[in-house]
Amino acid sequence: MEITQSTRMQQFITFMQRANQIAASTDLEPLLDQMLGLLMQVVQAPAGVVYLYEPEGDEQVLTVIRGDTTIRHLLGKHFAADRCLAGYVVRAGKPVFISDVTREPLWNQSIGALSGMGFRTAYCLPLLLQDQPLGAVEIFDLPLTVVDDPDDMTLVQLLCERLTIEIEKTRMLINARRRERRLQALVDIVSHITTTLDRDQLLERIMHHASQLLNVEATSIWLRDERTGDLVLQMATGKESRQLRGEEVRVPAGRGIIGYVTSKGERVLVNDVRNDSRFYRKIDQQSGFVTRSILCLPLRAPTIQLGSGAGVLPAKIIGGAQALNKRDGQSFSAEDVSLFETLASQAATVLQLAWLYERNSRLFLGIIKAVTGAIDLKDPYTRGHSQRVADFAVAIAREMGLSQEMLYHVRIGAILHDVGKIGVGDAILKKPEHLTNEEMGMMKLHPTYGVRLLHDADLEDLLREESSAMAQHHERLDGSGYPLGLKGDEISLIGRIVAVADAFDAMTSSRPYRPAMSLEQTFSILCSAGGTEYDAQCVEALVRAHAQGMIKTQAEREG
């Protein structure tokens, strides 16, 4: 029966209203699925698919399938645009009707004749927005009467144009949200860089963000060994990191894509490493990880003004960063590259600042050890005493569950605790027998001398916690100690810890006027004085630390 013009107009209005309802969705795949269903309803077709175009790889990606459940496994598959029907119609810029797909060379057999449904006809329409390709729609086995009906084809064309607009709108919204997430991640990273100098924590955060925002399976950071030129793995995320944890992983100088990038200073993007002779396969063999695609960038450490007349640390390539295996068969985009370059730049800055911090920390500790070593040399009967006290004090503090920050203060304070002996005369320090009361009075001033040295060197504020260890390691809870006779809570925790560590080393070390005490005797004295002279919790922590092998006396070290 012939359809009246009024009926056809009503159908047209109904379909356009339905299209408007579908267009309200901001979720791309449901929108595509419902639009495809509407097109199939217009042309009375049993099946259809929608492709979206990926310009980075010049590929058409199968995004939505309707009507043929046997090809669901092809969802997300990428097809070269120059070797498929969807790519052809996009280039041609006009629809194509195929009356027999088995005779059409551009027809993808994996979707057509081999699908199990035996499609014979296909109608393929490009999705173009101002001549820019967005994808294509293929509708299968539509009746020939529909193809010959200009009104039906006009409606299909109008719906596809509407679909194109909605795809672009939704994509723009998705991209805006993604850029917002990426920008927030960058802000988060930069804010954390200003709050901590923990290199590993910062690198892990940067690489974690890179994995999520680039949608990759793994990321890694490599540093160049200045001595050999090898690239050494510093940080990895994903499955690769679990396999390589605890190992030193190296790529020989100049080998692999990472070696090429760091030597040439060039970015490298490879979507199939099997076709790149530079790829270094031994890391995959070592980790069990299978690398398919890779984005590799050089790590360029920035120029840093050192200040205080120390000159400039020049910019240089210190290593490389890698992002491995885009998920869902995707290719790396220009936005991915830009984002990873920003993250890699942050990582390079973190590494350079951390290197400076570590260098200055080593210099600081080295100077302290040199000074205290000179004190130990000045007093031949206590050689190595400062380092042993530091080891004992840190073990006590760790056993007491103190923070890493406090452990650091304890270590430095314990190493410096006797630095004030530099103000005590050699005749007293080197005297092989017991000191007279007057000499002992001079010796008891060494805590005061130590604090005075910090004050004169303008270090008292920088080493406030440590100065307490220097001033109070001879104070006792009952007030019997020196130099100030402090009592109870007047003595700081760090002072109590170093007091126990110092007493333990003094009792278990040999002196010209007495042999070293046994462990049993030492522990007996300290435990009996716990709560009166010494802090009982510190003494108990010392005993536990020794039982666990964390503490060794002078005799145990030498034996």
> For 99-147, what is each residue's pLDDT tens digit?
888 777 777 655 654 455 577 888 898 988 888 888 899 998 888 777 7
Q: What integer pLDDT is reported at residue 303 of this predicted model? A: 83
> For 139-180, what is each residue's pLDDT tens digit?
988 887 777 778 777 878 888 787 788 778 877 877 777 778
User: Measured between alpha carbons, how far is 361 from 347 in angstroms, rounded to an integer?
Assistant: 21
Count the helices and strands in the chain (H runs, E runs). Answer: 20, 14
> Is pLDDT of 551 > 50?
yes
209 or 441: which carries more pLDDT confidence? 441
Q: What is the mean pLDDT of residues 194-214?
A: 79
Region label for 133, one of left (φ > 0), alpha (ψ between -120 and 50) or beta (otherwise): beta
> For 423-458, what is each residue's pLDDT tens digit?
888 888 878 788 899 999 999 999 999 999 888 888
The answer to whether the CB of 233 falls within 8 A of the CB of 225 is no
High-pLDDT (> 90) share of the chain, %: 33
**pLDDT band (50, 70, 90) for residue 263:** very high
Q: Residue 521: how many CB atoms within 10 A of its CB?
A: 12
The answer to whether the CB of 222 falls within 8 A of the CB of 232 is yes
The answer to whether the CB of 160 falls within 8 A of the CB of 190 is no
DSSP annotation of 517: P
Q: What integer pLDDT is reported at residue 500 of this predicted model? A: 97
Q: What is the mean pLDDT of residues 242-248?
A: 64
Q: What is the mean pLDDT of residues 368-379?
A: 75
The answer to whether the CB of 128 falls within 8 A of the CB of 93 is yes
Domains annotated for the chain, with CATH where assigned, are 5-175 (3.30.450.40), 197-349 (3.30.450.40), 379-558 (1.10.3210.10)
User: Which strands, in side-by-side order, build the sheet including 316-326?
Assistant: 250-251, 231-238, 216-224, 316-326, 294-301, 268-270
Burial class (CB in 10 A: 0-12, 13-18, 19+), 369: middle
Q: Residue 308: how many CB atoms within 10 A of its CB?
A: 5
User: Measured between alpha carbons, how far is 259 from 251 in angstroms, rounded to an integer?
Assistant: 7
The answer to whether the CB of 234 falls within 8 A of the CB of 319 is yes
**pLDDT band (50, 70, 90) for residue 533:** very high
The answer to whether the CB of 342 falls within 8 A of the CB of 186 is yes
Q: What integer pLDDT is reported at residue 446 of this predicted model? A: 93
The answer to whether the CB of 538 falls within 8 A of the CB of 414 is no
**pLDDT band (50, 70, 90) for residue 245:** low
Q: What integer pLDDT is reported at residue 161 of this predicted model? A: 82
Helix (H, G, I), strand (E, B) or coil at 244: helix
- For 69, residues 6+ apart whose C-beta sits below 8 A from its C-beta are none
pTM for the whole thing?
0.56
Listed in order, strand segments (DSSP E) in 225-284 are 231-238, 250-251, 268-270
**Do the strands 216-224 and 59-66 form a parallel or antiparallel pair, or are they unpaired?**
unpaired
Amino acid at 509: S
User: Which strands, in side-by-side order, build the sheet including 59-66?
Assistant: 78-80, 59-66, 47-54, 132-140, 122-129, 96-98
Q: What integer pLDDT is reported at residue 246 of this predicted model? A: 58
Q: What is the mean pLDDT of residues 315-335?
A: 87
Written as one string, the DSSP assignment of 133-180 is EEEEEEEES--HHHHT-HHHHHHHHHHHHHHHHHHHHHHHHHHHHHHH
Q: Which tokens go with 366?
A: 């080295």
Highest mean pLDDT among 183-192, 196-205, 430-439: 430-439
Q: What integer pLDDT is reported at residue 210 of this predicted model? A: 84
* Mean pLDDT across the chain: 84
Amino acid at 503: A
Highest mean pLDDT among 304-318, 364-378, 438-452: 438-452
Q: Residue 37: how many CB atoms within 10 A of its CB?
A: 16
Burial class (CB in 10 A: 0-12, 13-18, 19+), 250: middle
* Among 214, 331, 317, residue whose Cα is nearest residue 272: 331
> Is pLDDT of 506 > 60?
yes
CA-based torsion, 539, 540, 543, 545: positive or negative: negative
- For 362, residues 6+ apart whose C-beta sits below 8 A from its C-beta are none
* Among 111, 93, 99, residue whose Cα is nearest residue 157: 93
User: Measured between alpha carbons, how far is 258 from 275 in angstroms, rounded to an integer?
Assistant: 16
